Amino acid sequence: MSVRTLAVALFGATMATTAPLAASAQEATPVRYLAPPAVAQSEGSYVEECAPPLAMLADRLEMARQNYTGARLRLVLAAALSVQETAIGITVEQQEDWRRYTNALLALVPERERMLALLGAADGKDDPKGPEAFGRAEAVADTLIAYTTKAQALKSAVANLRGKLSPQQLEAARIPRLQPGITGVEPF
């Protein structure tokens, strides 16, 4: 397996596992996790003091199981891409390459069935003991295999689009990194 294939596979896995959280985060009220009161060194650990409670994470996963739909996430992503198209100044001659890029990117948004394979069924029919041995790992592998071709199409579309854009458009397409305190993003 080449480094390129591995990178594409990791990207696909990241998209598949974080998409439900991203979709629900668009509509959720921001939550700040506050560290509990100071704990004596012998009683606690860094994880206990700073990590969000496990029950809260379980609730978020359950919300994703119940409410995730790829359509909502694709709509939000398509709106952002439309704004980016205008901001970059895509010309008529660049439209075909831009559409190839946006279609490839939207194709990476997982369908509900794929997410349920990763998260577990939303109907409560899952075994309370958890999935069968190595079931989640197998679901991740299946997802990576399914997304390899889609990720390669995106990589090709990005390369073609870069070749068609002017240096000014490429500069306009850059998305600045979010920095705590400067852009309003607060660490938990």
Residues 107-166 have pLDDT tens digits of: 999 888 888 777 776 666 666 666 677 877 888 888 889 889 999 999 999 999 999 999
Q: What is the pLDDT of residue 3?
A: 55
The pLDDT assigned to 124 comes to: 61
100 touches 45 (CB < 8 A): no
* Alpha carbons 135 and 130: distance in angstroms, whole number: 9
* Euclidean distance between CA atoms 11 and 110, whole angstroms: 13
- Identify the three-state secondary structure at position 122: coil
Checking if the pLDDT of 184 tops 60, the result is no
**Average pLDDT of the residues in 159-175:** 93
Q: Between 13 and 62, whose confidence is greater?
A: 62
What does pTM read for this prediction?
0.59
Q: Which residues of 159-172 are buried (b: 16+ CB within 10 A; e: fewer)?
A: eebeebbeeebeee
Residues of the chain with pLDDT > 70, as a percent, come to 60
| pLDDT at 58 > cutoff 60 | yes
Q: Mention every residue, 6+ apart, whose C-beta is less than 8 A from residue 36.
A: 48, 49
pLDDT tens-digit readout, 78-124: 999 999 999 999 999 999 999 999 999 999 998 888 887 777 766 66
**What whole-number distance in Å separates Cα of residue 72 and Cα of residue 99?**
19
- Residue ranges per structural domain of the chain: 3-25+46-172
Taking a C-beta distance cutoff of 8 angstroms, is the pair 102, 59 a contact? no
What confidence tier does 34 reach under pLDDT thresholds 50, 70, 90? Answer: very low
Which pLDDT belongs to residue 64?
81
CA 24 – CA 72 distance, rounded (Å)? 9
Q: How far apart are CA 88 and CA 101, in angstroms?
A: 14
Whether pLDDT at 70 is above 90: no
Q: What is the pLDDT of residue 68?
A: 82
Q: Does residue 142 or residue 37 have the better pLDDT?
A: 142
The DSSP call for residue 94 is: G
